[in-house]
Amino acid sequence: MKRDRTGDAAPIPPMYRAVMTAAGPIVRWWGRLEVVGLDLLPVRGATIVPANHDSAWDPFVIAFAARRRRQIRALAKASLWKNPLVRRVMDGMGQIPVRRGQADTDALDAAVECLSSGGCLGIFPEGTRSQGRQLRARSGTGRLAQAVPEARIVCAAVSGTVDIARFPRRPRLKVTFFEPTPSTATESALELSTRLTAELRAVAPVAPAGRQG
């Protein structure tokens, strides 16, 4: 259960619970989800969860894997909010829209506010799905870590998600939570994001793109 920075239990939004319940049969049963290192994810306090990104399923699988310890709010592409139904779901889950390809100060401010209030924030350092390509990291993750230095960083390497779209091939999903190598005082925001991406990809290499995956 999520707790705020004072230690008091913070309620998880009904929409978040509903989405996790709906995703359960696909992620846990069909996907045969394996979770490693969950105990490294703090149950309270500011936490940044960088993750690799190969499939549209990644945020759901990671959130489901973490559900017994934290609600993970996430930065998601703003175009998703164009659909009224999707917008209602995203807002209900507490997700934060970010405009790609530009400096979105509103999204950064919202993310910093989430962390400063003791929240848990998921972010993809690569910025978008890999589509089978090796992508360069963007500086956003490092900028957040520098803006909220008290935040813990726990990486989430997710694999197998591209196979969800390859029915009838059954996927084998895995989420590995791990603590990255400690940062140094001289490391820039981009250097931090780049290192986190490299450490994530060492655990979960880029996967070939799946159908709509």
Spell out where the chain has E strands: 34-36, 47-50, 73-77, 96-98, 120-123, 152-153, 155-159, 174-178
> Closest by alpha carbon to 4, among 92, 120, 123, 110?
120
| pLDDT tens across the length of the chain (213 residues) | 444 443 334 678 999 999 999 999 999 999 999 999 999 999 999 999 999 999 999 999 999 999 999 999 999 889 999 999 999 999 999 999 988 766 678 899 999 999 999 999 999 999 999 999 999 999 999 999 999 999 999 999 999 999 998 888 899 999 999 999 998 889 999 999 999 999 999 999 998 876 544
Fold of 14-203: Glycerol-3-phosphate (1)-acyltransferase (3.40.1130)
Specify the pTM: 0.91
DSSP assigned state of 101: T
Question: What separation, in Å, do the N-terminal and C-terminal C-alpha atoms of the chain show?
Answer: 30
